[in-house]
Amino acid sequence: MPSLQAEFGWSRATVTIPFTVAGLVFAFGMAPAGRIQDLKGPRPLVIASAVLSIVGYGLSAMAQNLPWLVISYGIIMGAAMATGYSAAVAGGLKWFPDMKGSATGILVGGFGAAAAVFGPIAHFAVAEFGWRNAFLILGVVFSSIIGLCSFILVNPPQGWRPAGWDPAKAQGIRKHSPEYTGYEFPFKTMLRTRQFWLMWTQYILILCGGFSIIVHLRHPKLTLFLSNSRRYCFWRILSCSH
């Protein structure tokens, strides 16, 4: 972020605009991506995520103005996150219908932990090679890793159940799950329920709070009393918690 400010003379608020757009595209791209996952499986989404990642990072590395970055990083990279995230989370829930909460928690936790792992690596790459070359390096690395995942991620066979699990014997709130009742809300019906909008609003507010802190965490005023080592430690803890 400081590199972009130094090269283009932008304010910190201006630099975060592509990141904001990426978050919006990610949020609103999840629904169609999830639908594709149901119809075609995770592989097309993972391949799309790999292609969008290398294209988004590559174009961002050549950016000369803000609209360019908004399109390359905000829109294209936001779409890459939405497709990759939907493929992993939706697929994981289908493999573990007996422990959906745990599976979701672990998969979503990986999203936050990735920032803690790759954040320092990205910071090092920017410091050593410049932000443009760092974007190219990250694009190649992420696209390669995601591309390899396309050979691994598949949906379970139709009617698949974990060994020894019988949805008819589910207890507590699980008795209301689609596996037990045999009923799933159609998309339009879901949009008319109060529960959906309450959960959606809660999720948006939580993510807005988390991302708004993470994106500005390196600002000196937010970590005024922390040394560099403690600042990195604090950033990693917050990323994992997110």
Supply angle C-alpha 20, 130, 233, rounded to 5.
65
pLDDT digits (tens, 9 = 90+) for 180-208: 555 667 778 888 888 888 888 887 777 66
Q: What is residue 220's predicted lDDT score, i.e. its pLDDT?
A: 47
CATH architecture of 2-156+174-184: Up-down Bundle (1.20)
Residues 6+ apart with CB under 8 A from 109: 240
Q: What is residue 48's predicted lDDT score, i.e. its pLDDT?
A: 94
Residue type, 134: A
Instruction: Report whether pLDDT(242) > 90.
Output: no
Question: What is d(CA 141, CA 239) in angstroms, rounded to the nearest whole number?
Answer: 20
Residues 6+ apart with CB under 8 A from 160: 94, 95
In the chain, the percentage of residues whose pLDDT exceeds 90 is 20
Distances from the Cα of 48 to the Cα of 15, 38, 42, 81, 82, angstroms: 26, 15, 10, 10, 10
Note the pTM of the prediction, 2 decimals.
0.76
